[in-house]
Structure 1
Amino acid sequence: MNENWHQQLKSQHRDQLLESGQMLFLRHGLHQVKIKDVCEEANLSRVTFYKHFHSLDELLLTIQMQLVETLTLSVSQAANPVVSGYEQLESMLHAWVHFSKLHPDHIRFIQLFDINFEAYHFQPDLRDTYEHFIRVGKEKHFLLNALTTGIADGSIQNATPPLKLAQFIFTVMMGMLQKMVTHSSHDLHPLDHQMSEQLVDMLLQYASSENTGHQKSSS
């Protein structure tokens, strides 16, 4: 019981540091935040900080990777494996928009990190860690299964190789959603909701553009 309590407390402290770091980086930018700021925001000591992270840069990378994983997992779970690949992709894209409406700060942080990554002076080992994370994510893309299923069942007939198509859809979706969530601090503007639906329709049409006999799902 005592060991379990200590483990729960350790996990709680780590989450507090991640949440505080995310909020401060978004508020002040990646270069203005110090370890003492994160500790004060989390109401934890520097000793506790160093029990979880070797540096502020490690905290920053951990936040980014956790947010990317949370986003991709949430979108992936929207796919129903018993329906066509097109319908899986459709559900995932709508889930992506919904996630962005519920968690706009996730999207904002990913954008902030991506913009600054190349110019940020990470230690080589940390940069290698993140580049490996991104490389694996691209090679095992979370949209890939839906696209390959769609190609196999005929509901997706775009001539682009599925991995490149997945990366294209990711780039377009994130680019548009990042632009839209900057309009408001809390949610997507109603006009942006309409734009996001149009974006989803456009990407779905593009993915199945060579399939003249395909019928969209009624959802």
Structure 2
Amino acid sequence: MAELKERIIQSSLDLFEKHGYHGVSINQIVEHCGASKGGFYHYFHSKDELLYVIHDTFITYVLDKANQAKETYQTPTEQLQAIVHSFVRVFDLYKAHIYVFYQESTYLKPHYEELIKKKRDQFKQNIFEVIQKGQEAGEFRNELPTEIAGMALLGMVNWTYKWYRREGEKPIEDIASIYVDIILHAFLTSEEMNKDTNQEYFLKKAFLFEND
């Protein structure tokens, strides 16, 4: 039955992309995926809840990855590498979800909007905390205001949805490594940049969480 849920979500993504949230009915969704209304309502109370699940899927992914990075890696530099890498990958893994999010997020009901906002804020705070810990540990430059640096990182990576194409010249793994390279060059102190471990890192691709 979980397969049916995924089919419903995928059909709604296809239809929302083409016709917009209000241009698509539940009847059209179930017809598109070969389901019944009973099947739809088994998983979703309403079309509003379906829209929330679409939004929640990729936001939960990046939040879980950020928490995992903080638990798995010891240094703030390693943690930030992992967080940025998984953050960039989400634009390939959940490309349609993100497109619908930016196109249709204004239609989220207040209750669902608050749930999404809570997770987005948690992810943002994870970024801020890792940057701050990196500054306290002497890995990241102290002259960078923590929140401004964090918001710059978020803004740069979020913009990926505007230009990323799966058929483009570089795969998402390479793009993620480029982002990590740019961000660490901006954040790391000169002492950290000159360490052998970081020099080695910049000479190879970072494939953190590549099998997820």
TM-score range, shorter chain: 0.7 to 0.9
Q: Which runs of 5+ in 2 are unaligned?
A: 202-212
Q: Which runs of 5+ in 1 are unaligned?
A: 1-8
In the alignment, is the contact (CA less than 8 A) between 2:76 and 2:139 conserved in 1?
yes
Deviations 1:39-66 (CA, angstroms, capped at 9, x unpaired): 1233221122223223212211211111
- Shift of residue 109 of structure 1? 2.9
Aligned mates of 2:131, 2:100 — CA distance in 1: 29
Q: Give the letter aligned to residue 212 of structure 1.
A: S
Per the alignment, do residues 58 and 140 of structure 1 end up closer, same or farther by CA in structure 2, a change over 3 Å counting? Answer: same
Provide the residue aligned with 1:169 in structure 2.
153
RMSD between aligned residues: 3.1
Match of 1:129 among 112, 126, 131: 112
SS in 2 for 1:157: coil
Deviations 1:160-211 (CA, angstroms, capped at 9, x unpaired): 5545533331221011x21232xx3x44433988766544333223323xx2
In the alignment, is the contact (CA less than 8 A) between 1:39 and 1:46 conserved in 2?
yes
Match of 1:213 among 182, 191, 205: 191
Q: How does 1:32-71 map to 2 (within 5 A)?
A: 32-71=23-62
- Shift of residue 155 of structure 1? 0.7
**Count, aligned residues:** 196
Per the alignment, do residues 198 and 82 of structure 1 end up closer, same or farther by CA in structure 2, a change over 3 Å counting? Answer: closer
Per the alignment, do residues 31 and 91 of structure 1 end up closer, same or farther by CA in structure 2, a change over 3 Å counting? Answer: same
Aligned mates of 2:142, 2:182 — CA distance in 1: 13
- Shift of residue 14 of structure 1? 2.8
Provide the residue aligned with 2:138 in structure 1.
154
Aligned mates of 2:171, 2:10 — CA distance in 1: 30
In the alignment, is the contact (CA less than 8 A) between 1:158 and 1:206 conserved in 2?
no
Aligned mates of 1:191, 1:46 — CA distance in 2: 39
TM-score (normalised: structure 2): 0.73
SS in 1 for 2:22: coil
Provide the residue aligned with 2:4 in structure 1.
13
Aligned mates of 2:7, 2:41 — CA distance in 1: 13
Provide the residue aligned with 2:162 in structure 1.
179
Provide the residue aligned with 2:180 in structure 1.
200
In the alignment, is the contact (CA less than 8 A) between 2:153 and 2:183 conserved in 1?
yes
Per the alignment, do residues 72 and 160 of structure 1 end up closer, same or farther by CA in structure 2, a change over 3 Å counting? Answer: same
TM-score (normalised: structure 1): 0.71
Provide the residue aligned with 2:206 in structure 1.
none
Aligned mates of 1:107, 1:154 — CA distance in 2: 36
Per the alignment, do residues 42 and 179 of structure 1 end up closer, same or farther by CA in structure 2, a change over 3 Å counting? Answer: same
In the alignment, is the contact (CA less than 8 A) between 2:63 and 2:123 conserved in 1?
no
